[in-house]
Amino acid sequence: MDQAGDLVRGAIARFRTRQRVPTLNDRFRGFAGLAGNAMGSPWAFLTAFALVVAWAATGPLFGFSDTWQLVINTSTTIATFLMVFLLQSTQNRDTKAVNIKLDELLRAIEGARTGLADLGDLTDDEIDQIERELVDVAREAGVDALPLRQELHARRASLRVTRGARRKKQTLGT
């Protein structure tokens, strides 16, 4: 474990000290991070809100014309379209980082099911099955008060399995 940690730390140190030319991907990632932080701020929300209020206030001035309506529709569509890419880039990077950290924790804990590190490659049904197993293990360990959201999700998954089994029986019976 210590050798692996030294290896990772050494690789990170070598990577950070190496001079390299920023690629388009590096530049976009930096821009996406800055833009995501800026657009997620209260000031960005207040600015957008003020623009919508200003647009609405100009409605009587422009007679609520089709052009007046087109301005807000086009503006919001373009802003939304561009923000989707920025936010998706930021979310992908954050998700990778969190998954790497969780994978490392799984490897560090003796007795942990390290096979859970590849959950992203499983089907939804397989993930639901593992979730049900973990809920059952938690209950056996005396953890009855699971968070409501997890409890509801587990029940919905269980109902989907039950309905699927009933459909199979009905199909086979006819």
Please say whether the beta carbons of 68 and 58 come within 8 A. Answer: yes
> CA–CA separation, 23 vs 164, rounded Å?
49
What pLDDT, on a 0 to 100 scale, did the predictor assign at position 43?
95
Q: pLDDT (tens digit, 9 = 90+) per residue, 135-148?
A: 887 778 776 655 55
Please say whether the beta carbons of 146 and 135 come within 8 A. Answer: yes
Residue 88 confidence (pLDDT) above 80: yes
Domain extents for the chain? Answer: 24-116, 122-174
What pLDDT, on a 0 to 100 scale, did the predictor assign at position 48?
94
Task: Name the DSSP letter for residue 117.
Answer: G
> CA–CA separation, 50 vs 54, rounded Å?
6
> CA–CA separation, 85 vs 93, rounded Å?
12
Side-chain half-sphere CA neighbours of 30 within 13 A = 6
pTM tops 0.75, yes or no: no
pLDDT band for position 173 (cuts 50, 70, 90): low
Neighbours of 36 (CB within 10 A): 19
The arithmetic mean of pLDDT across residues 99-114, rounded, is 81
Residue 74 confidence (pLDDT) above 90: yes
